[in-house]
A and B are shown apart, each in its own frame.
Chain A
Amino acid sequence: MQAALCATCLVDQFFPEVGEAVVTVLRRLDVDVTFPEEQTCCGQIAFNGGYRKEAADVARHFMDVFENERHVVVPSGSCASMIKVYYRELFRDDPDDLERALALGEKTHELTDFIVNVLEVTDVGSLARGLVTYHDSCHLLRELGISAEPRSLIGGVSGVELQEMPNADACCGFGGLFSVKFPEISIAILDEKLDAIRASGADTVVANDCGCLMHMRGAIERRGMSVRAIHIAELLAGE
């Protein structure tokens, strides 16, 4: 099966190792991964800021790049939601682009959704070690309704035990623009999340979104906490 990887701008620019992990996992599952090289960003940053003209412009470029693919795989619940849910809103008054957006949305999958629901695999044959807790990224959970898929994939990793944290579905306080506009509130929300992670006793917190991870890691590192915050692809790539 062929699938085009949409790396997302965060992975592309800041966390390329996550992209490499995605490729490792998908290739292990015999997926012929392609990377349309003209890709840049889905436009969510501008859309969430209210700048829809700029967002639409970038989203059109995104559609140009990806619309001829059969499957588009995105290692982020947030970017996948932008494409699958919020392009509808963005192109509400533009029937032609709306139609393109709907078609693209249909074949766009967040990574774990793709593995579990399209490839129908829950054991990706990976090996890791430790006690892992899973953080539900908000858009993945509430825009796309995906919460069982990542958990079953984590459950399929040999050597790993999944230990739920309290309120795993509570927001980590990132919220993109929000974390920049209201850093103090953002951190206060994060504190509760970090407490929950600590309470789980896990040594590793896994999430499906580099936004949440960048936010969590930023504070974990600043405070010298010992827990690791990693993308689910990084866990699944282990062998």
Chain B
Amino acid sequence: MAQVKSAAFKKASTRALHDQGIQHALNHVMNHFTEARASAIAADYSDESWDAMRTRAAAIKAHTIGNLDYYLDLADRSIRRNGGHVHFADDAADATRIVIDIAKRHDVKRAIKSKSMVSEEMGLNDALKRAGIDPVETDLGEYIIQLAGETPFHIIAPAMHKTREEVSDLFHDWLKSAPTSDIARLCSIAREALRKHFETAEMGITGANFVVAETGTVVIVTNEGNGRMVTSTPRVHVAICGMEKVLPAIEDLPVFLRLLPRSATGQRTTSYTSFISGPRGPSDEDGPEEFHLIFVDNGRLNLLKDEVLREALSCIRCGACLNHCPVYRKVGGHAYGWVYSGPIGAVVTGPMTGMKQAADLPFASTLCGACRDVCPVKIDLPKLLLHLRHRLAEGTGSGERAGTWMERLYIRRWHDAVKTRAALDRSTRLGRLLQKPLVRRGKVRSLPLPVISGWTKDRDFPALAPKSFGEIWRDGLGPAREPE
């Protein structure tokens, strides 16, 4: 499995905040995405309102996930009936083994890949290389980060943090191309470089945006055409997807095909949507002779088991929650330390990879709710983040409880202080006494207290008022009272 570096969120986010390249890219790209989405939604699309579509899509997802065993079984039977092979992988290692076994059986030297987030979870490229198979990413963004030896910065714009100069340097180093600052030229360099792989690679690896259970159809939504290449030219096609990607029937697709591109890139539709229902037929002119679909768990059961978190499995990976998240917009994707970033990354990383190492992520949110408002399947991300915070603070088992004793001490002190008004007034009096040496003109410029001292690094903190509102009320603002 890909390394999880989420424990370093704080350090990595600080680094990102000071990286001018990243800040520039975020400022530029995030607004581009949010504006494109807004105008796509404002435009006319169907008889159904945007909100009604979201509600319906959420209901379809909830239904499917609530009966996931049934639909996985149905999908499996349909795909095998269509002549394909279906695999069920418990974890990243399992899925990787399956891919490599297939590759070995077909004597594959090179595998061309279309974008697949699950393969990122698996760290598949490194594993293929170790097995002597040369993996080539063919989505332009993925290709760039593969050359750079990085992980995706964003679910749908993996190389958004790279400038054209950086891309030109990478192409120069790896492809010996002449340096250029012309983006169209850079695209055609990649086109030429990848064409020969499309012609010769023996294996194609893709993800799946949706898997239709009834007909056994894998749906791939792309813009560049590499997804079509990867599913057309090699002898073998292996699709890898999370087990939650299944939908009941093809007539469930339209609502998702409307929501996904508008939420992701602000397009009415993507350039290509491909529907693959098995290997090529006996009389087909081209296409893979063998088709495999691997359903991957890799920690998804941990989401499924938790009735609140289950909702996160409805995610269709559009990236809208990232684009609208004030935190993602400042720290970018790498800070989150694994494959998924932004609000959805903050929700799934812990349950999928281990709660404790990702304990910072559910707190790395202002709970502003912008993510929930834009989510095409109405995932209540703030609720899920709060639920995770609860599990981290009071969860069962030491395996996931991550709050520090200092934090608990604060909470206990607070709890004791606000239990009754009398207790609160006592605490206030004590607080006023203790704050005296810190207060200058009604402000605290430095709070020498563990955990909360960070507040005053760039901000003043208000001093406790000389008289609380409660006291002001009692002392005359409220109705006159009988003398005691």
Contacts and interface: CB of A to CB of B under 8 A. Distances in A.
Nearest to B367: A175
Contact of B363 (A38, A143, A171, A178): A178
Nearest to B472: A16
Interface stretch (A44-52, A117-125, A198-206): A44-52
Contacts of A40: 417-421, 424
Interface string B74-107: 0000000000000000000000000000000000
Contact of A51 (B393, B443, B455): B393
Given A14-B462, A49-B411, A57-B415, A175 B390 contact: no
A175 B365 contact: yes
A160 interface: no
B473 A37 contact: yes
A228 interface: no
A87 interface: no
A12 B365 CA distance: 26
B420 to A, nearest CB: 7
A182 B328 CA distance: 13
Contact of B478 (A11, A35, A54): A35
B225 interface: no
Interface in B439-479: 443, 445, 451-452, 454-465, 467-470, 472-474, 477-478
A58 B392 CA distance: 20
B138 to A, nearest CB: 35
Contacts, number: 193
A189 B367 CA distance: 13
B414 interface: yes
Contacts of A177: 363
Contacts of A219: 458-460
Given A178-B363, A181-B363, A47 B472 contact: no
Given A12-B468, A38-B421, A178-B366, A183 B454 contact: yes
Interface size class of A (residues with CB under 8 A): 35 or more
A46 B411 contact: yes
Contacts of B415: 46, 54, 57-58
Residue in A173, A174, A175, A219 whose Cβ sees the most chain B Cβ within 10 Å:
A175
B370 A171 contact: yes
The B interface, classified by DSSP as helix, strand, loop or mixed, is helix
A182 B10 CA distance: 7
A16 B462 CA distance: 12
A142 B386 contact: no
A171 B366 contact: yes
A143 B370 CA distance: 10
A175 B368 contact: yes
Nearest to A223: B458
B291 to A, nearest CB: 44
Contacts of B411: 46, 49, 51, 54
B368 A179 contact: no
B419 A180 contact: no
B358 interface: no
11 contacts: A13-B468, A35-B470, A37-B470, A139-B367, A142-B369, A176-B367, A180-B454, A186-B366, A188-B330, A217-B462, A218-B456
